[in-house]
Amino acid sequence: MNEKLYELLMKMPKKNLINIMWDALDVMQAYNGRTKMFCIMESIGAVAHEDEYGCITYSIPKINEIKKLTSFSY
């Protein structure tokens, strides 16, 4: 996990952070070969882009969008 993602997660309310981690766990259980960063990015709604060299970058949504996406409760 990179520093930018860590800082973004620390800005999230506890309720949303718990929902992100539960969703990331569900994504990880679907296929065990995925990285933690991929699962968290998938949970927050980030879009992956691959360049011609095979490097993957993510378009991370704004914090308000992430809060809306992860405001459900179990």
Q: Is residue 51 part of a domain?
A: yes
Structure pTM? 0.80
Q: Is residue 62 part of a domain?
A: yes
Q: How confident is the model at residue 61 (pLDDT cuts 50, 70, 90)?
A: very high
Q: Is residue 74 part of a domain?
A: no
- How far, CA to CA in Å, does 39 sit from each of 49, 50, 68? 15, 17, 18
- DSSP type of residue 61: P
Q: Is the pLDDT of residue 74 over 80?
A: no
Tokens of 66: 């992430």
In what helix (H) or strand (E) does residue 57 lie, and over which residues does it extend? strand 56-59
Query: Which domain range does residue 19 map to?
Result: 3-69
Q: Is residue 13 part of a domain?
A: yes
Q: How confident is the model at residue 73 (pLDDT cuts 50, 70, 90)?
A: low
Q: What is the pLDDT of residue 31?
A: 80
The number of domains in the chain is 1
pLDDT tens readout for residues 1-58: 788 889 999 999 999 999 999 999 999 988 878 888 899 999 999 998 999 998 988 9
